[in-house]
């Protein structure tokens, strides 16, 4: 399979007055064509930061450090100028549905006008053509063309999310980053949106990076799962490797799964992870998870475990695994 | 299973809350009434002493309005609330305050519900002052320490001098719980208490709340949209749709054996952490989105989205809750056929 994206040694630090917050520290992964890669973890583990880094637009005081490589369709976008990125990468090759984007639609413009703005900024087309294209995309996300004349407050959360998704697909990007696209929605609407995304992925031959904290949701959409903790990858494996019989290998993934309440099975007692994620200005020595880990050994607090491939396609960063 | 009168701590009888939108003079004079929003439209349930009762529903189902009615933050349009054998639907100011001491609330957002300028000690002392509890500072401090110990914040002295921003989301929700416990309430209303908390600590908070409930013999009204935590946390649940209860019963019973098509659809929509579903488009036995409570469909209010709807569902009167035994109620006239 062809790789559409290669991320190598990605480091993104927020330079604050107290020191550098190491939000992403040496993150490497690949994304194949037509694949959905899920990013999961607690809040503050670097999921959204990864998404934003892929668009090469970290929010200040964040900076992508030297030595990081983001190779998109064979081209390292780190070497491109801001102008080139804007012209040829952002929204053209990679687009993103931001967390809570549906609440960021301008309340004073109609949907048609807002969508038109995005389209005409990038494409040289007259109003008539643009309108036709917008109608086509509204149809694809299951909305009637009348929606163009409506204002955001006239629509439900599910409808607004569909509009944001349509806007992200306009310019035919190859990769779409979805940051918690269903978090604020009800379960039934969530399931409808997930179905829609699966259909769109087939229609347009897209690749997705799907960011969520919900492991159950990730199981339904992602081909491979990347579990992040404190700015690093803890485990990366296929859907089968993480959710199958054998289960995950990293103690963090294991605990996260055990903390997920199940609907269809009665669970007497859910487990949880004591403590909170570490301060990334001064992360713990050794494995960053060791102060909260239930399988901690002496070595864990001394040396940082490397991300090793323990079986084909399954990478784990834990001293307990592999050898 | 019949409910013994003495076992019931809170009884809601045919409670309604209709919000009338503002009318202009012209609208009033021409008699063109704007539509009334029927947020809660005739619900009845009883909560037993010492149980955790879950109220489940999507946004717009009226679950939060019900919570506010129970807390007496808003007045009902009609119906009655009976607490501990006493009708508290309409009460004077003094009685309301006394009621609120017995029924306390935990809010959804632990980042917004604690005053950032108050130390934890002050956060916890405030209810004692508001409710004019006897005792001086020393006595209050003893009560604060007791409340902090009850929510397992050990050692309590260490937390008293901190500000909310020095605590994690989970710790804040513990403080919010301690603040309600300090008044020795009989019942807690918790509106989505864990939806803002990280998955890794969500279970910890639910554990803590369950321990507190058991230790102190409390009763909870747990309001949520999340069926999975409801199954884990509650004893009985009621599923709401557009201001009405469509199904009610033991949590395990309702989820393992749902009778109403809406409950079935809700359960089918919940994702689960099992492999092998990536390429599957999920079948959803429901269409569209929840209608506006200002424009409730006639007949069974679910018929517009129900895959099993027949003409009689919209033509005939709305079905009332029916008992199928074992305390399991539902409001679908065709439940046997589906």
pLDDT the model gives residue B1: 42
Of B168, B255, B269, the CB nearest to A188: B269
**Fold entry, domain B5-330:** Rossmann fold (3.40.50)
Q: Which of B24-33, B130-139, B225-234 has the highest mean pLDDT?
A: B225-234
- pLDDT of residue B34 exceeding 80, the answer is no
Q: What are phi and psi of A136, to 5 degrees?
A: -60, -45
Of B207, B273, B282, the CB nearest to A216: B273
Q: Helix or strand or coil: residue A239? A: helix
- pLDDT of residue A101 exceeding 90, the answer is no
pLDDT in tens, A102-114: 888 999 999 999 9
pLDDT the model gives residue B109: 85
Using a CB-CB cut-off of 8 Å, the residues of chain A touching B275 are: 219, 239-240, 242-244
Q: Do the Cβ atoms of B225 and A187 come within 8 Å?
A: yes
In a domain, A246, yes or no: yes
pLDDT the model gives residue B3: 52
Using a CB-CB cut-off of 8 Å, the residues of chain A touching B288 are: none
pLDDT the model gives residue B211: 92
pLDDT the model gives residue B33: 66
- How high is the mean pLDDT of chain A? 92
The rounded distance, in Å, linking the Cα atoms of B46 and B53 is 9
Average pLDDT over residues B78-105: 92
Q: Which range among A200-209, A268-277, B171-180 shows the weakest confidence by mean pLDDT? A: A268-277
pLDDT the model gives residue B6: 63
**Residue A322 pLDDT level (bands cut at 50, 70, 90):** low
pLDDT in tens, B36-46: 899 999 999 99
* Pairs from A81-88 (Cβ < 8 Å, separation ≥ 24): A85/A56
Question: What percent of chain B is predicted at pLDDT more than 70?
Answer: 97
- How high is the mean pLDDT of chain B? 90
**Residue B4 pLDDT level (bands cut at 50, 70, 90):** low
Distance from CA of B267 to the nearest CA of A (A): 8
pLDDT the model gives residue A267: 81
Using a CB-CB cut-off of 8 Å, the residues of chain B touching A213 are: 198-199
Residue B59, chain A, CB below 8 Å: the answer is: yes
Residue B30, chain A, CB below 8 Å: the answer is: no
Question: What percent of chain B is predicted at pLDDT more than 90?
Answer: 64
Question: In terms of pLDDT, which residue wins out, B103 or B27?
Answer: B103
In a domain, A158, yes or no: no
pLDDT the model gives residue B134: 84
In a domain, A154, yes or no: no
Question: What percent of chain A is predicted at pLDDT more than 70?
Answer: 99
The rounded distance, in Å, linking the Cα atoms of B36 and B32 is 12
Of B199, B269, B286, the CB nearest to A259: B199
In a domain, A49, yes or no: yes
In a domain, A104, yes or no: no
The rounded distance, in Å, linking the Cα atoms of B247 and A87 is 55
The rounded distance, in Å, linking the Cα atoms of B101 and B115 is 20
Encode A190-199: b = buried (16+ Cβ within 10 Å), e = exposed. bbbbbbbbbe
The rounded distance, in Å, linking the Cα atoms of B331 and B317 is 12
Q: Do the Cβ atoms of B270 and A216 come within 8 Å?
A: yes
pLDDT the model gives residue B32: 66
In a domain, A156, yes or no: no
pLDDT the model gives residue B2: 46
Average pLDDT over residues B163-170: 90
Which residues form the domain of A26? Answer: 3-93+173-316
In a domain, A135, yes or no: no
The CATH number covering residue A219 comes to 3.40.50.300
DSSP secondary structure letters along B214-229 = HHHT-EEEEEES-HHH
In a domain, A159, yes or no: no
Locate the domains of chain B by residue range. Answer: 5-330
Size of interface A-B (CB pairs under 8 A): 135
Of A157, A239, A264, the CB nearest to B272: A264
Residue B288, chain A, CB below 8 Å: the answer is: no
């Amino acid at each position: 399979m062809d790789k559409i994206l290669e991320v190598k040694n990605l480091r993104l630090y927020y330079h604050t007055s107290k020191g550098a917050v190491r939000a992403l520290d040496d993150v490497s992964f690949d994304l194949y064509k037509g694949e959905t890669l899920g990013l999961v973890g607690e809040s503050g583990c670097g999921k959204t930061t990864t998404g934003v880094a892929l668009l090469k637009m970290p929010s200040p005081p964040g900076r992508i450090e030297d030595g990081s490589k983001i190779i998109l369709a064979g081209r390292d976008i780190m070497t491109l100028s801001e102008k080139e990125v804007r012209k040829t990468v952002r929204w053209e090759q990679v687009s993103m549905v931001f967390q809570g984007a549906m609440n960021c639609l301008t309340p004073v413009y109609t949907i048609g006008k807002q969508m038109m703005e995005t389209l005409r900024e990038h494409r040289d087309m007259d109003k008539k053509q643009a309108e036709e294209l917008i109608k086509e995309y509204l149809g694809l996300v299951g909305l009637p063309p009348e929606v163009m004349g409506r204002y955001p407050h006239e629509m439900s959360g599910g409808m607004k999310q569909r509009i944001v998704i349509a806007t992200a697909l306009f310019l035919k990007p190859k990769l779409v980053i979805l940051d918690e696209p269903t978090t604020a929605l009800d379960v039934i609407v969530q399931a409808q949106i997930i179905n829609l995304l699966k259909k769109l992925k087939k229609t347009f031959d897209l690749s997705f990076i799907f960011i969520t904290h919900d492991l159950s949701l990730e199981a339904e959409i992602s081909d491979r799962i990347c579990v992040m903790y404190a700015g690093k990858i803890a485990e990366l494996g296929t859907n089968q490797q993480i959710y199958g019989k054998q289960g995950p290998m990293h103690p963090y993934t294991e605990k996260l799964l055990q903390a997920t309440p199940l609907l269809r099975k009665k669970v007497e007692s859910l487990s949880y992870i004591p403590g909170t994620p570490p301060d990334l200005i001064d992360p713990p020595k050794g494995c960053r998870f060791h102060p909260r880990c239930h399988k901690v050994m002496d070595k864990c607090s001394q040396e940082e475990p490397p991300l090793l491939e323990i079986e084909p396609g399954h990478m784990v960063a834990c001293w307990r695994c592999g050898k | 299973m019949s409910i013994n009168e003495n076992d019931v701590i809170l009884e809601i009888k045919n409670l309604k809350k209709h919000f009338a939108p503002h009318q202009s003079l012209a609208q009033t004079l021409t008699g063109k009434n704007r539509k009334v929003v029927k947020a809660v439209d005739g619900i009845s349930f009883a909560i037993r002493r010492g149980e955790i009762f879950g109220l489940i529903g999507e946004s717009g189902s009226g679950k939060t309005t019900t919570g506010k009615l129970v807390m007496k933050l808003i007045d009902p349009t009609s119906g009655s609330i009976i607490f501990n054998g006493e009708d508290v639907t309409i009460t004077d100011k003094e009685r309301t305050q006394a009621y609120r001491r017995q029924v306390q609330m935990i809010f959804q957002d632990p980042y917004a519900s604690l005053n950032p300028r108050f130390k934890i000690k002050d956060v916890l002392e405030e209810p004692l002052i508001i409710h004019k509890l006897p005792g001086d500072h020393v006595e209050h401090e003893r009560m604060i320490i007791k409340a902090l110990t009850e929510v397992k914040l050990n050692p309590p002295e260490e937390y008293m001098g901190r500000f909310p921003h020095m605590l994690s989301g989970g710790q804040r929700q513990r403080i919010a719980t301690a603040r309600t416990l300090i008044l020795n309430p009989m019942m807690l209303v918790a509106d989505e208490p864990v939806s803002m908390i990280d998955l890794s600590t969500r279970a910890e908070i639910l554990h803590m709340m369950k321990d507190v409930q058991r230790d102190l013999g409390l009763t909870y009204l747990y309001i949520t949209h999340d069926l999975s935590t409801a199954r884990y946390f509650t004893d009985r649940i009621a599923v709401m749709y557009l201001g009405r209860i469509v199904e009610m019963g033991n949590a395990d019973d309702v989820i393992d054996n749902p009778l109403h098509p809406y409950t079935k659809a809700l359960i089918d929509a919940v994702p689960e952490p099992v492999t092998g579903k990536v390429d599957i488009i999920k079948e959803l036995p429901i269409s569209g989105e929840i209608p506006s409570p200002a424009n409730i469909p006639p007949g069974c209010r679910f018929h517009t989205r129900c895959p099993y709807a027949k003409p009689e569902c919209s033509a005939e009167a709305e079905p009332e809750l029916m008992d199928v035994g074992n305390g399991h109620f539902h409001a679908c006239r065709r439940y046997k056929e589906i």
